[in-house]
Structure formats: C-alpha cells, structure tokens
Structure 1
Amino acid sequence: MATSPHRIAVLGLPDVVGFDLAIPSQIFGGARDAAGEQLYAVQVCSLDGGPISTTKGFAVLPSAGPEHLRSPDTLIIPGTHLEGPRTDGSLDPELADYLAGLPARTRIMSICTGAFVLAAAGMLDGRPATTHWAYAEDFRRLYPEVDLDPDVLFVDDGDVLTSAGVAAGIDLCLHVIRRDHGSEVANRAARSSVVPPWREGGQAQYIERPVPEPDGNGTSNTRAWLLRNLAEPLTLDKIAAHAGTSVRTFTRRFRDETGSSPMDWLLRQRLEHARHLLESTDLPIDAVAEQAGLSTAASLRKHLRHRLGTSPATYRRTFRS
C-alpha cells in the first residue's frame, strides 16, 4: 500500500529572501523513491493567500492557499526581512497565533533569518540554533535565551532545525532527506539539482580565503587525486610531492583554498566515504575502514564516535536506506 507524501508547507513572510523560498521546493521535489514516486509534497504559502514580496524587487504568488498551513508534517520558514522579529523581537498576533497552534508533531525548520521568526515565537528558547553569520550579533541581542552557534551550516535539534544563510538551506534540506530516507535518496535529490550531496552541519559557514590565482599552482588537482586514492597510505610528504612543491608551501596553499590543513581535510573525506559505504553496502566494518583509508575498525569507531557520537553499527542501522 502506497503511503502519502510527507506534507511540507513553506511559509513566505515579507520581505522573503527569494532564493531561500525556492530551496525547499527544488530540493525536496527531487526526492523520490526507487519507483520514482515523490516522497514530499511541497507547497509555498502565505498567511493570507496573497503575493509575497521579496527582498529583490519582485513578488511571488503562491499556488497554494493558507489552508495548506493548517497541519503540515513539516513547516519551513525561509529567510525574511520581516520587521518585528528582525528589529525588536515582536511578532504579529496572527503569525504568533498560527505558530502557537501548530500540532506538537510538526517538524519546524528555518533557513537563514527565518530563525528570527522562530526565536520571536519562543520556539528556540533553550535550544541550539544557527542563522546567517552576518546577523549573529543582532540575534544574540534580541534572543539571548537561544544557544546560538553562528559558525555552523545547520543545527539539527530533533523536531526543530535551523540553517545558516542562503545555500546552507540546501544543506539542511538534503540532511533532512538523508535523515528521513537514507543517503541514496538524498544523493539522487542532490544530483537532480547538481549540488554536493553532503556538507557536514558543523562545517564553518564563512572562511575568508582568496580565490586561487590561475597560475596552475592550486591544489585542486591534488585534492582530486586524494579522493581517488583514499584507501592508500598517504603522508603529507607524499601529498606535497604529488603537487610538486614543498610541504610548507603546499600546506599554506591548501589552507588558503580550503580553510583546512591537508590531513584534516583528508580525514573528513575518508569519514564521508566510510559513511557512504555504511549506508549503501553490506561490507563488514573492517572492510569499510580499509576501503576508506582508516586502516582498522577500531580507527573508524574512534573517529566516527568523536565526530558524530555514534558507532559504525549504530550509524548503519540509523541511516541505511
């Protein structure tokens, strides 16, 4: 018996960030099961059913009326310049009543400055959350009771999830698909939108780094080589030799381009590959560790527990599609 798609209501509030408003429909719309059936039904809504003004000089006319806001499975509030939540912590009574009346089972998500709306409604009190790094000081001033972390891409606190600015909303939506249906479905949705299938939630929002000079001395070719050879024993000397430069020069260039040291970056890639293998294969844990370049199951367990607080077996049970 087929199950109904998970119902998502995207509530556009003036002045909405147009890019944020479009993300859920694009990303969740690309999530399909093995038979090609859509797993989510996404509707963009406004409180009154009318057009939604955006921050960039155009308006959006929702195709769904406010009736779709009554009891969604998931409610998403995109970034907004709505006064009140953004200026003095106040909330329009109609909006406050709507948010207060949501069923307890509703999953709540925000993208970018949509977190200001959730905070104004008291929905983030005592919870970890994030928003766009540029507005972190304003957020802390208005909502000191929220445990704000402006240095991450998104925060998953179970039934309430928040993301950083703009493109981090893509990461959050893919994370939710992954959480709901496993990595294979999330990867297909990512491929449909031609975006990376996974950026870790704890990854820094904003690292100020220069664009590499077009002189052929960047590290992109070596990074691609590393990804093709994750299972091999790779030392910093060997990596720098592939790049044809000294360890010191290579490390400096690598950090400039990625915001990370070569070996830290390599460990993250190995863990991501291990996670993919845990989710998509029946390989024994020892074989997963070996193919990911982590040598032993003990090493994989140590790194996975440090990064995610879980064991390989538990991770596989949780995320296996």
Structure 2
Amino acid sequence: MTRVPQRESAHRIVVLALDGVYPFELGIANRVFGSADGRYELLTCTVDGRPVRTDADFEIAVDHGPEALRTAGTVVIPPFDLALATGELSDPVADALAMIRPGTRLVSICTGAFVLAAAGLLDGRPATTHWVLAEHFRRLFPRVRLDPGVLFIDDGDVLTSAGAASGVDVCLHVIRTDHGSAVANHVARLCVVPPWREGGQAQYIEHPVPEPTAVTTAATRQWALDHLHLPLTLTDLAGHAQMSLRTFARRFRGEVGESPGRWLTQQRLSRARQLLETSDLSVDQIAGHVGFTTATSLRQHLHAAIGVAPLAYRRTFHATRGGEPVGRSAEGCGDAVMR
C-alpha cells in the first residue's frame, strides 16, 4: 500500500524499541499511524541507536538514537521480552526516557507499561497491561491503579494498553481523539481491523472460540446494526436469533465479551458520534436515528462515555474544510491533543 507523504503539520511519533522487543507490536504504530494520510510522522529509535535484538531469531536496525525522543509529540513503547520486565530501569533506558520533554503523550503496549511504571510515571494513575502479567505487575508496582480487565486506558497524557491487538485499539483511539471518527474509521478499513472496540471492553480472557458449525449471534448483531433506530430489546435480539433469552445472552457474551445491552449502547453511541461529525442533523434527529428515546438520553450516554455534550463534540469534530475534521481533541476524551 502506497502511503501519502506526510504533511508539514504532521505530529511526530517516536517509537522506542527496547531489547527483546516483540516484532509484531513494534510495527503497530507505524502501520496504524502511517495509514492516516500523512497526519503523523513516524520515527523508530533505540536507547543507543544500534540494532536491537527481538524476542525472535533476528535483530532490527533503526535509523535513530535516543535523541529522537526530544522531538516527539508522542512516544510509543512497544512490549518486550517478559524476562526483561523488571521493577527497575537500566541506566541506558532511564537516560533515554529522561530526554522526553514534559507534556509529551506516552503510549505503552503490553509490557511497555512496566517501563512507564518503573520510571514512576504511573504512580497513583490508572493503567493496564496484559491480563497474564497482572499479578506480577501489582507486586512490582503497588502504587499503580492497575485494571487488567480492559483493552486500554486513556489517562490524558498517558495511555496504556493490553497485549497485541489492543495496541491497534489504542492507536486508533489516539487517531480518533486527534482527528475524529471519520479518519480513524478510514485507517481501520485500510488496516482491515474493527474501527472501534471500547476501551472499557473486557480483554478476551479465556473466551472459547465458537466451533464453525455452532449457531452464533453474528447475524443478529448485523441485523441490530441495520435497525438501530428501533427500540430493540433483549427479547427482540433473542427472537431474531431464534434462541431463548438465557442462551442468547450467554452466547452473545461468550462471543463479544460483554452483554447485549452494553454492546447495543456502544453501537448507538458510535453511530451518533459519526452523525455528529458528518451531518447537520439536530441532536433530536440523531437520537431518533440511532435508537435513543430522547435527545436527553443521548446526551446522558455520550457524557457518561466521553465526558462531553453532543454539541460540544460536534464543534470539535464536525467535518468541514474540504471534508476533514478540524478538531483536535474532545473535552473529556483525555487531554491527548496534538502538540
């Protein structure tokens, strides 16, 4: 896929590759942010500018040393070999982190949170990491308010995420925060990944994959998305799936990781945000289009989810200027703004 050249105003993201880095997760930031039509500039560095070994059978050479961290608007720390995830920083890593300017947005993936925590940057703050590492993390960093049951946590200038695919989720969330859902959805399509998995959605912990021959709720979920304007109930969904209420609820949670009601609310909010960004419909009209009974209900749900009212969200992200979102960050979506 040919990438669009970066824009003059591109936000610089520096990825810090540490010893034992996981190759897949190392590439997430470049793949996701690099698909945002030139809105981001990506640099990858190591603590000394030399090649770094991965947890696989090869090394990775980079073009930049730690001095690149001084120029970053956002720093991404991918995960690395668990055996190296201790409660202390080596001198080279500590020296590299010291080059990051105050106020720079920090994003960690999986064991990357161990680096932020060891630097004292997560003390007293909410954070997450891979659920398998939760107890180990708590023992090392008791001052961190760890929540191992979510995909990612946005605490303003520091964002932490769980393992592997949640790194994609948090990068898309950053794009959505910076540029709105339309841009994030476009990037998700290019990367062939779901455009939105709520940060509070549970990590998929030991959820069995349904057998190919098993009856699933996939068709009913699509039907619900096509009929969001209707006052859908659990009875309606179970009836469409031709299952009992109990069977449907159990199977739905097993496949999606949350209840039908919570999932439905998230889909309605996602659609409402898209309409706020891309249409001139009134808040009352949007509420009706997405299945909230009143505009008040939409306001309450949107405020609970991201801390802003519909009109404030529209002022931030409404698509103008040739169809591009003009906003940078929505209040309450974390203070992760373009710097």
TM-score normalized by structure 1?
Answer: 0.91
Q: Deviations over 1:38-61 (max 9, x none)?
A: 011111111222211111222111
Q: Deviations over 1:283-312 (max 9, x none)?
A: 110011111011210111122223333322
Alpha carbons of structure 1 residues 217 and 5: separation in structure 2 relative to 1, 3 Å: same
Give the equivalent residue in structure 1 for 2:186: 188
Q: Deviations over 1:106-155 (max 9, x none)?
A: 22111110010111111111221111111111111111111111111111
2:2 is the counterpart of 1:4 = no
**Partners of 2:43 and 2:99 in 1: how far apart?**
19
Q: Deviations over 1:152-187 (max 9, x none)?
A: 111111111111111111111111111111111111
Matches within 5 A, 1:150-189: 150-189=148-187
C-alpha displacement at 1:3, in angstroms?
Answer: 3.4
Query: Secondary structure at the residue paired with 2:43?
Result: strand
Q: Is the 8 A contact 1:130 1:152 kept in 2?
A: yes
Matched letter for residue 36 of structure 2: A
Alpha carbons of structure 1 residues 276 and 107: separation in structure 2 relative to 1, 3 Å: same
**Partners of 2:235 and 2:68 in 1: how far apart?**
58
Query: Secondary structure at the residue paired with 2:292?
Result: coil
C-alpha displacement at 1:216, in angstroms?
Answer: 5.4
C-alpha displacement at 1:94, in angstroms?
Answer: 2.3
Alpha carbons of structure 1 residues 281 and 48: separation in structure 2 relative to 1, 3 Å: same
Q: How many residues align?
A: 313
Matched letter for residue 74 of structure 1: T
Give the equivalent residue in structure 2 for 1:268: 266
**Partners of 1:70 and 1:298 in 2: how far apart?**
45
Alpha carbons of structure 1 residues 317 and 208: separation in structure 2 relative to 1, 3 Å: farther
Give the equivalent residue in structure 2 for 1:253: 251
Matched letter for residue 79 of structure 1: P
Q: Is the 8 A contact 2:150 2:199 kept in 1?
A: yes
CA RMSD, aligned part only? Answer: 1.8
- 69-78 vs 135-144, which deviates more? 69-78
Q: Deviations over 1:183-223 (max 9, x none)?
A: 11111111111111111111111243222233352111111
Q: Is the 8 A contact 2:181 2:273 kept in 1?
A: no
C-alpha displacement at 1:66, in angstroms?
Answer: 4.1
Matches within 5 A, 1:193-232: 193-215=191-213, 217-232=215-230
**Partners of 2:118 and 2:247 in 1: how far apart?**
48
For structure 2, the residue ranges without an aligned partner over 5 or more in a row are: 1-6, 319-324, 326-339
**Partners of 2:236 and 2:69 in 1: how far apart?**
57
Matched letter for residue 170 of structure 1: V
Give the equivalent residue in structure 1 for 2:50: 50
Give the equivalent residue in structure 1 for 2:24: 19
C-alpha displacement at 1:69, in angstroms?
Answer: 2.9
Query: Secondary structure at the residue paired with 1:314?
Result: helix
2:113 is the counterpart of 1:108 = no
Give the equivalent residue in structure 2 for 1:35: none
Matched letter for residue 311 of structure 2: A
C-alpha displacement at 1:259, in angstroms?
Answer: 2.7
Give the equivalent residue in structure 2 for 1:71: 71
Query: Secondary structure at the residue paired with 1:209?
Result: coil
C-alpha displacement at 1:82, in angstroms?
Answer: 6.7
Q: Is the 8 A contact 1:110 1:163 kept in 2?
A: yes
Alpha carbons of structure 1 residues 263 and 102: separation in structure 2 relative to 1, 3 Å: closer
Q: Deviations over 1:86-111 (max 9, x none)?
A: 23x12111221221232113221111
Q: Is the 8 A contact 1:16 1:80 kept in 2?
A: yes
**Partners of 2:91 and 2:49 in 1: how far apart?**
17
Alpha carbons of structure 1 residues 291 and 25: separation in structure 2 relative to 1, 3 Å: same
TM-score normalized by structure 2?
Answer: 0.87
For structure 1, the residue ranges without an aligned partner over 5 or more in a row are: 33-37
- 93-102 vs 123-132, which deviates more? 93-102
Query: Secondary structure at the residue paired with 2:159?
Result: strand
Matched letter for residue 154 of structure 2: D
Alpha carbons of structure 1 residues 108 and 259: separation in structure 2 relative to 1, 3 Å: closer
Give the equivalent residue in structure 2 for 1:285: 283
C-alpha displacement at 1:83, in angstroms?
Answer: 5.6
Query: Secondary structure at the residue paired with 2:228?
Result: coil
Matched letter for residue 60 of structure 2: V
